[in-house]
Amino acid sequence: MNAAGGVTVGGRKMPLELVLLDDESDATKTVARLETLGAQGVVAYLGGFGSDLHAAAASVAEKNKVPYLGVAFALHKVHQQGFRYLFSPFWKSPDIGQATQGLFSTIPAAERPKTAAIFQEKTDWGREMAAAWTEAGKAAGYQVAVQGEYAPGAKDFSDLILKAKAANADAVFALPTPPDGMTMIKQMKELGYTPKLTLFIRAPDPPIWTKNLGKDGDFVLLAPGWHHGVKAPGVKELNEAHVKKIGRPADPIAGPAYACVQILAAALTRAGAPDRNKVRDAIAATDTTTVVGPVKFRADGTGTVQSVFVQWINGKQELVWPKESATAPLAYPAPPFAKR
């Protein structure tokens, strides 16, 4: 954008200045960094990574009346608190639950998972996703046979895994952190349990997943909010820039993050001035197409965005749903770990 002179605001071009501060994935530091940026007069906040950090940030944005755009942010609860300055072009827990129904519909009815185990993280998001997956089962045709909780950072998941194995659960749903998710997979292999379908939110998103797990990390599904194979304007150029700088197509979080800047730039143009309240109103009225596809915002700040499921296949993240955008068919059922 700046290479072309910046964003058109009030009839003239203005360059965008991006100020980066590291919150070190610490919610307390997130609040402090946002207060610093607010005092510096930023026109908008671009949030970090993780629902817990966004939850801490939302009240700061509201207090300072600074519009806030956040991705890697599926927690729905925060949007139910009446915040006017909070916006998220990223799918939420209920959206993921509904999309799970769509994913299952691509599997022949006789072969779909009939039972599921939910490994529920002891967090607000964990409770939200457990409820969403339980509700989704009513339409998708599966029953939750096992639902057990664990604390983030736990080292032993054998109790949950053995209960799922004893129940012969066809599917496992969870939203672990990357370290927790990798430990789960290693222990599932050790305990001889391979569900037909494994859907982990968050843990399999980064490339470190396949580097650490190799073939054991294959067949796991993820819901990262985007994939570089999505058909939308600008995706080709984003991928080319990502390959040039990092050596691989754009990572899942790159698309939604890029879209936030696109949304903000368009809002600045419509606002006609770098005024926080005018920009906030312009963001709320968003109806535009970005690298994640068409984006609008509901009254609560949640976005109506394209949903995708991705799967690790042969050490690569492949887009498997929706089928019309897929880069590979869903690999199902997963073969036993010993036969990979």
Q: What is the mean pLDDT of each run of 10 residues along the chain (340 residues)?
A: 93 95 94 97 93 93 98 94 97 96 96 98 96 96 98 97 99 97 99 98 95 98 96 96 95 95 98 98 98 98 96 98 95 97
Distance between CA 149 and CA 56 in Å, rounded?
Answer: 24
Beta strand 309-313 pairing with 303-304: unpaired
**Residue 98: what pLDDT?**
94
Q: What is the pLDDT of residue 18?
A: 95
Q: What does residue 189 show for φ and ψ, rounded to 5 degrees?
A: -65, -45
pLDDT computed for residue 23 by the predictor? 94
CATH code for residues 94-222+308-339: 3.40.50.2300
| Amino acid of residue 245 | K
φ/ψ region of 272 (left if φ > 0, alpha if ψ in -120 to 50, else beta) reads left
**2-91+232-304: CATH topology:** Rossmann fold (3.40.50)
Three-state DSSP state, 184: helix
Cβ–Cβ < 8 Å for 91, 68: no
Question: What's the pLDDT at 51?
Answer: 87
Per-residue model confidence (pLDDT) at position 48: 83
The answer to whether the CB of 104 falls within 8 A of the CB of 142 is yes
Please check whether residue 110 is in contact with residue 121, taking contact to mean a CB–CB distance below 8 angstroms.
no
Instruction: Quote the pLDDT of residue 132.
Output: 97
Tokens of 331: 């690999």
CATH 3.40.50.2300 residue ranges for the chain? 2-91+232-304, 94-222+308-339
